[in-house]
Each structure stands twice: as C-alpha cells, then as structure tokens.
Chains A and B, each alone.
Chain A
Amino acid sequence: MKKKTIGKEYIFTALILFVVLAVTMVLDSQLPSYHIVIKVIKKASVYSLVAVSMNLLNGFTGLFSLGQAGFMLLGAYSYAVLCIPVAKRAGVYQYFDGGIVKFSLPEVFAGFLGDKVGAAVGMILALLVGGLIAAFFAYLIGLPVLRLKSDYLAIATLGFAEIMRTIIQWNAIGPLTNASNLLKGYPDFSSATAYLLLIGVFIACVVLLVNSTYGRAFKAIRDDEVAAEAMGINLAHHKRLAFVISSFFAGVGGGMLAMYMGAVPAMSFRSSMTYEILLLVVIGGIGSITGSVLTSFLYIAALEWLLRGLDTGKFLGITAPGLFKNGFRMAVISVIIMVVVLFFRKGIMGDKELPDLLRRHTKKGGGEK
C-alpha cells in the first residue's frame, strides 16, 4: 500500500477537539465552578465515557449487556473509599468506627509529590483502581454469563447490577462500604477541563482499540459469529476481553460520576441509570463513538440546563406556572427523543465517526487510511 498520509479530515477533527478544549479552558477561568455550564460539561463528560464503554460492548461486539450501572457502582465506591481524607473518616463512617481503610490515596501521594500534583495523581490512581476492580468482577461473572446470548445475556447482567447494589449496602461489609450510608467528603477536580482531558484520554484508548486488530475481531463477532470463528477468532476469549475492557471504563466512569456528585449513595445506581446510558448509545448511533459523546453532551445540556425552565415556570420568556411545573421537562424530553428516533432511524451518527463526516465535505473518495 502507498505511504501513509494523514487525511485532511483527521486534521480538522484534531482542530475541532482542540477548539472544544480551548473553549472549556476559557469557561473554566471565567465562570465559578458551581456554574451550571461547568456542571453540565462535567456530567456530560462522565456520561460520554460510560456511553462509549457501553457502545464498545453493545455496538462493536454485539453483546447486549445491561450491567453498566453495576460496574459504575463498583468504580464509584472504590474511588470514594480510597479518597476520603483520613481526618474525615471518623465522621463519614460514624457507625463503623471510622471504617477499616485507614489511608487516603490523594494524601499518600501529596506526601511526596507535593499537594497539588500528589492529590491529582492519587485521585487518578483511585479511578484506575476502581476500573480494575470493575474489570475483575466482569471477568468473574463473564465466565458463566458470556455463554448466554442477546436477551438472556441482558437479563443476567441486569441481575448482576441489582445484586451488586444490594450487596454493597450489606451491613456486614459496612466497615468498607459504609453500608447504606453515604460516602462523602472526598476530593473532586474543580475544573471542567480536567474532566474533559481525563475522558479524552480514556475515549482515545477506546478509539485506538476499536481500530486495532482486536477491534476488527470484535466487529467480526458482532456481524457473524460462525464466520468469525472460521477465521480463527477465539469467540470466548474475545467476548471476555470486550466485556472486561468495557467494564473497566464503566468503572472509571463510575468513579468520575462519584466525583461529580460529591456523595455516593448506592441507591442512585439503579437499572434506570443503565437504561439512560443505553438511550444515549442508541440515539447517538450504535457503533459510533462520536455519536455517543455528542448525544451525551446534548442530552445532559438539555436535561440539566436548557430545559430547566420547563420545571420552574419560566421557559424562553414564557411564564406559565400552571403548565411548566415539576415533571414537565421529562415529558418534553421524551417527545424530543421520539422525534429524533423517528427522523434518525440509525441514531444521530449512524455508524459514522467525526472524520467520516468531514471526509464527505472535503473530497469524495479521498480517504485512504
């Protein structure tokens, strides 16, 4: 094949991503960290990471799994447990004598790397540990569960998520998880840029994976298991790999969600959270990472910010306290989703990625990877 050249569309893609980052940095410096725009960027970042992780499994490997909330829960708890400052532990674990974990990763690293850098390193490490724990559980339950197909796999993984949520609130492991009480007081990145950079790195990993030999094998399994097997692809091995990697990123995403929320109640990691993420994946386009990310940002921005007025009485300058009250926002968003699905049968992006869109506008057929 000819010498590899970087197509124009990839340069444009890099440019767009850079502009997004720059805008976020400006917003960070101009707005206080509690401003709604900052909040939206943070939450949308987290959701896009989790949506991408789900897309890796459901969209690229064709395994219909609904265990995402369970793996996020594991990541969230790992992060919280590892990061609560020692001084606050007595208060948080008030019913369990301050808990059994007697250290805090950010503080450990702050000890020899300096306050700011050390804390950040500790927090990122805690996120990764959360991911690894989620991946480990995925490996274990993957052994029996991945023998199932389609709907049955979905039911089994959904069951796993619900069981995890219950076990974590069990009193016997209270010294570790604080049972059904909140975990709180752990540190957070105050800037939205930090969130964006973190998920950028993780999503870049997924993109590289999807375009590698492994990614091709995943897609082959999705398209035709028998033919994939005839090509020498070990089905069990690759399915497990996809499941474990997807759960790793879900775990990291869960940790970041914990960060964003400021407190971890196990109750909020319900199966409805999994459905919410599934919705993002489907509307964004099954098999499109760009779609998952884009939809996450649109959805969170609409839900948390743009349509807020529908719940509080004043929207687009119209004041109608009788109509615009609690819950009306959800009704509107449901209608929007239905309309979007009707007009974009394969999701907003289909199975296209950002460079594919730009390629069409620059030169037709000019794309050689």
Chain B
Amino acid sequence: MLKIQNLQVAYGGIQALRGIDMEVPDGKIVTLIGANGAGKSTTLRTISGLVKAKSGSITYNGEELIGKPINAILAAGIAQVPEGRRVFPDMTVLENLKIGAYLRKDKEEIEKDIEWVYELFPRLKERNWQLAGTLSGGEQQMLAVGRGLMSRPKVLMMDEPSLGLAPLVVQGIFDIIREINRQGVTILLIEQNANMALKIADLAYVLETGTITMSGTGAKLLADEKVKEAYLGKKRSK
C-alpha cells in the first residue's frame, strides 16, 4: 500500500500542497480529481521523486520514499506516465519501450514484457519501427502507458492520460487502464475528466487548492451533489 501522510510541498513561497493524506491500496484503481492548479500533478511528481517535499511522509509498504533518488523509487515499483505523454520523439517505438525498462537487467524478461505490451496495444506492434514523434496522439498515449509498464511497476501513476484525445480514444485508454489493473497493477490516476475517472475508480479523492476536501468510493463521489456541481458539469439549481 502506498500511503501519504500530511504531505506539504512548496514551490518557492507558493504552497502547492497543504498537508494531504491519502492511501492507495494494492490492486485498486485510485483517482485524484481536481481543477487546474489544485496540486494533482505536484502530488504525483512528489511521489516519483521529481519534486522535493517540504514535510510529511510517503511510504510504500512501510518504506519511506521521501528523500530517495528517482531511480530507487522506480526500482521499488512505482512508475509514472507523465502528463502530456512525453514520449521520445526521435526514437522508435521499440526503443521507447526499452528505455522504460532501463533499470532492469533481465533481458529475457524484458523481451517478454515487450510482447505483453504489444498484446495490450496491438497498434504499437504494427508501428514497431516508426519514430514515436510520427505517431498520432492516441498512439503516443498508448506508447507512454506501455513505456511506464516496461519497468514492471506494482503501482502505475498516470497523469491525465485523456489529455487532448478524442472521446473514443479516451474510452479505449480507460478500457486498457482497467485491463492493466485486472492483471494486478495498482493504478493511481490523475484526471480532469472526472466523469470517466470516477466511473472506473475503486477509491477517489478530490483535491482543492492543496487540500483534500472529499474522499470515498468512485460511485459515491459520482452521486455526490457537490462533486456533480463542481466537476461533472451539472447546472446549479436555483
């Protein structure tokens, strides 16, 4: 279980996270929703070690992650799919996947995992030798997810996988997320598309300007009036 306690993060003088607590139980899909600037990405980047925390603790199975280098956190089994895909444009699809397995040394297992990713995303197999920069947005997102899986993570954190994609493609990505989870990978999903995210989430948190204001099962938040009003686009009744 990934556990965050009283986490505070500040960029210079600006407090991005004001002490949040959340839990990501093993095998579940957990989602964190919130508006722009609420601190969603900061939370994710702090877990992965790209941003330094001011105070608080992040533990994974009891092991403290704050202060550890990025590669140690990745080796512990927590990988991320960064916001905006960020595939390596001038490298082939295959090379991108291999970079995802950069910290691993077990060549045969890596080959197997490449096949696994190709099974999940047959489209990537077709484009094996294409440069990642020439893929469509949806395919790049698939590649980003596949690349994240190549480190064989126990927890996969995804930052807005639906960003800038057509609704049909988004549906496909969410189906895959569910499939990956069914195969035993814990998912921490950050989304602005609250509707989609809450539908597949076992557990959900709502983040507002650096504080968690609500939590519960996905279904519960989906039915909540306040959430509906703020994130699902329901008109205020007079």
Contact = CB atoms under 8 A, between A and B. Distances in A.
Do these two chains interact? yes
Interface in A220-244: 220, 222-224, 226-234
Interface string B106-127: 0000010011000000000000
Contact of A232 (B70, B88, B95): B70
Given A230-B70, A232-B102, A224 B88 contact: yes
A365 B147 CA distance: 23
A234 B80 contact: no
B90 A219 contact: yes
Contacts of B91: 216, 219-220, 223
A351 interface: yes
B88 A223 contact: yes
Contacts of A231: 74, 99-100, 102-103, 147, 151
Contact of A230 (B48, B111, B114, B129): B48
A217 interface: yes
B199 interface: no
Contacts of B88: 219-220, 223-224, 227-228
A213 interface: yes
A265 interface: no
A367 B91 CA distance: 16
A224 B86 contact: yes
Contacts of A351: 90
A200 B80 CA distance: 41
A227 B102 contact: no
A253 interface: no
A226 B74 CA distance: 14
B87 interface: yes
Interface string B68-86: 0111001100001010001
A229 B70 CA distance: 7
A26 interface: no
A287 interface: yes
Contacts of A226: 50, 82, 86
**Residue in B82, B88, B147 whose Cβ sees the most chain A Cβ within 10 Å:** B88
Contact of B151 (A216, A222, A232): A232
Interface string B190-202: 0000000000000
A342 interface: no
B70 A228 contact: no
Contact of B99 (A217, A365, A367): A217
Given A216-B95, A228-B99, A229-B70, A223 B50 contact: no
A232 to B, nearest CB: 4
A44 B82 CA distance: 45
A222 B80 CA distance: 20
B98 interface: yes
Contacts of B103: 231-232
Interface in A271-305: 287
A197 to B, nearest CB: 31
Contacts of A339: none
Contact of B71 (A213, A222, A234): A234
Contacts of B50: 226, 229-230
A316 interface: no
A1 B91 CA distance: 19
Contacts of A233: 71, 99, 102
A132 to B, nearest CB: 28
B56 interface: no
The range of chain A's interface size is 20 to 34
Q: Which of A213, A217, A226, A365 has the most CB of B within 10 A?
A: A213
A227 B75 contact: no
Contacts of B184: none
B89 interface: yes
B204 to A, nearest CB: 24
A216 B150 CA distance: 15
B98 A216 contact: yes
Contacts of A234: 69, 71
A287 B115 CA distance: 28
A130 to B, nearest CB: 33
Contacts of B69: 234
B115 A227 contact: no
B146 to A, nearest CB: 13
A232 B87 contact: no
Interface in A183-234: 213, 216-217, 219-220, 222-224, 226-234
Nearest to B72: A232
A295 B115 CA distance: 39
B36 to A, nearest CB: 19
B99 A216 contact: yes
Given A216-B98, A223-B90, A223-B91, A367 B129 contact: yes
Given A219-B90, A226-B82, A232 B114 contact: no
Nearest to B115: A1
B51 to A, nearest CB: 11
A227 B50 CA distance: 10
A212 to B, nearest CB: 11
Q: Which 5 A-B pairs have the closest CB atoms?
A: A223-B88, A227-B86, A232-B71, A232-B74, A232-B103
Interface of B: 48, 50, 69-71, 74-75, 80, 82, 86-91, 95, 98-100, 102-103, 111, 114-115, 129, 147, 151
Interface of A: 1, 213, 216-217, 219-220, 222-224, 226-234, 287, 351, 365, 367
8 contacts: A1-B111, A213-B102, A216-B99, A219-B95, A227-B88, A231-B99, A234-B71, A365-B129
